[in-house]
Amino acid sequence: MTLAYETVSENRSFGGVQGVYRHQSQATGTPMTFAIYMPPAAEHGRVPVLWYLSGLTCTHENAMTKAGAQEWASEYGMAVIFPDTSPRGEGVADDEAYDLGQGAGFYVDATQAPWAPHFRMWHYITHELPELVFGNFALDRDAQGITGHSMGGHGALTIALTMPHVYRSVSAFAPIANPTESDWGRKQLSAYLGEDRAAWAGHDATLLMRERGYPREILIDQGSADQFLHLLKPEALAHAMTERRQPGTFRMQQGYDHSYFFVQTFMGDHMRWHAEQLA
């Protein structure tokens, strides 16, 4: 696996550096762009890292510019990684709908045509990109947390619930919580993984919560005025957490919608929480 990458841009931010980088991915067979904020503390040694997975239609840039993570990351001495949401480019399968194809990788490894050759986002996020960043940046591999918004919240929860030995903290903003029972899930999982619903179960946070839970606390924020509540199905995950007696906090935030105004409002809470969990 190559660890080579090129620098697209680097900007000073809150005493640290917000960088954007590009590399050739073996997992997706395409060039992939990602962003990392490195706090001032990284000048003196390895720092904890928070993975931020973005939602439908997003690239690495949305959360990097809209979530307001850099100020908090600087304060808590924590790096933040913003990967892309899917492979992109000529020859990569796509769909006319915004919720399938490029920009909508759903953090799975596709097994079905025409998606299988490039849509291997689970492997990319959990194996290939970590090898690159831990080999090239001052990051503490033993202090990793993961969070995300919407489709990215789905990815963060399913990855952490599957790999709790790697991700020592997990949170989510308005996650797609029960995709096997939602139109934001059944469509994509059947396209990427086929019609065997048993193959979907490992990519549904509600089912994973019922089956195995998470060995530490989790934090989830959901807006009560979210226009996609019927697709996100937060009540299914909340019920599964209660059934399992999962330690953690599930907050329904009065009047907030699905936008990045919601995310940036509570980003500080999540950054502080991850810093405490990873300390």
pLDDT in tens, 156-176: 999 999 999 999 999 999 999
Q: Which of 135, 118, 129, 116 is nearest to 159 (CA)?
A: 129
- Concerning whether 224 is annotated as a catalytic residue, the answer is no
The answer on pLDDT for 11 being more than 70 is: yes
The 3-state DSSP class for residue 213 equals coil
pTM of the complete model beyond 0.85: yes
Q: Does 1 score more than 70 pLDDT?
A: no
pLDDT reported for residue 217: 98
- Rounded Cα–Cα distance for residues 213 and 20 (Å): 34
- Please check the confidence at residue 202 and state whether its pLDDT lies above 80: yes
Is residue 74 among the annotated active site residues?
no
Q: Which of 84, 204, 221, 226 is catalytic?
A: 226
Among the options 60, 154, 258, 270, which is catalytic?
258
**Which residue reads 């005025």 in tokens?**
225
Picking from 130, 139, 153, 137, the residue whose alpha carbon sits closest to that of residue 56 is: 153
For position 3, what pLDDT does the model report? Answer: 79
pLDDT in tens, 213-258: 999 999 999 999 999 999 999 999 999 999 999 999 999 999 999 9
pLDDT at 220: 98
Residue 149 bears catalytic tag: no
What percentage of the chain reaches a pLDDT higher than 70? 99
Token couple for 111:
């097994």
Residue 204 CB contacts under 8 Å (≥ 6 apart), including other chains:
158, 178, 179, 180, 185
Selecting among 150, 169, 171, 182, the annotated active-site residue is 150
The model's confidence at residue 88, banded by pLDDT at 50, 70 and 90, is very high
Size of the chain, expressed as the number of residues it contains: 279
The average pLDDT across 88-105 equals: 97
Residue type, 176: I
Measured CA to CA, the distance from residue 220 to residue 61 in angstroms comes to: 23
